[in-house]
Amino acid sequence: MFGRALILRCPRCGTGGVLASWFKLKDHCPVCELALDRGEADYWIGAYAINLVVAEGLAALVGMLVLLATWPRPFPASVAAITLAVALPFAFFPFSRLVWLAWDLTFRPAGE
């Protein structure tokens, strides 16, 4: 399920076309009819946490690597880290939502 989510496919059946736009999932999978929104007001908090940890962790790691490569000049590392810290959460947004959905489906499978 996680592999299918990481390539932006339905975690249950693996079909594409589950994104309405980069920032919005369709209501249901077009093939298996899996409800992509589980109907809970705070459901996506886990996806936001995954997005934050992955994006900001990667930005910090790249910033440290650039700092090591350009030492003693910290400015390039600051620019790289800040740019990635702002851009990566937007880039990872749909991935984090589908990974969270896959995680949820491992514990609460969708009923037939």
Tens of pLDDT, residues 51-95 = 999 999 999 999 999 999 999 999 999 999 999 999 999 999 999
Residue 89 lies in a domain: yes
Is the preceding peptide bond at 72 cis, omega within 30 degrees of 0? yes
The reply to whether 92 falls in a domain is: yes
The neighbouring-strand residues paired with 21 are: 24
Asked if residue 112 belongs to a domain, the reply is: no
Q: Which residues neighbour 64 within 8 Å (Cβ) at sequence distance 6 or greater?
A: 77
Q: What is the pTM of this model?
A: 0.87
Phi, psi of 7, deg, nearest 5:
-105, 20
CA atoms 8, 9, 10, 16: torsion sign: positive
Q: Hey, is 79 helix, strand or coil? A: helix
Residues whose CB is less than 8 angstroms from the CB of residue 2 and which lie 6 or more positions away in sequence, other chains included: 11, 99, 102, 103
Q: What's 109's DSSP letter?
A: P
Domains in the chain, number: 1
Residue 63 belongs to a domain: yes
Structural domain including 62 reads 2-107
Residue 70, domain member (yes or no): yes
Q: Which residue has the tokens 């249901």?
A: 28
| pLDDT tens column, 28-60 | 999 999 998 887 889 999 999 999 999 999 999
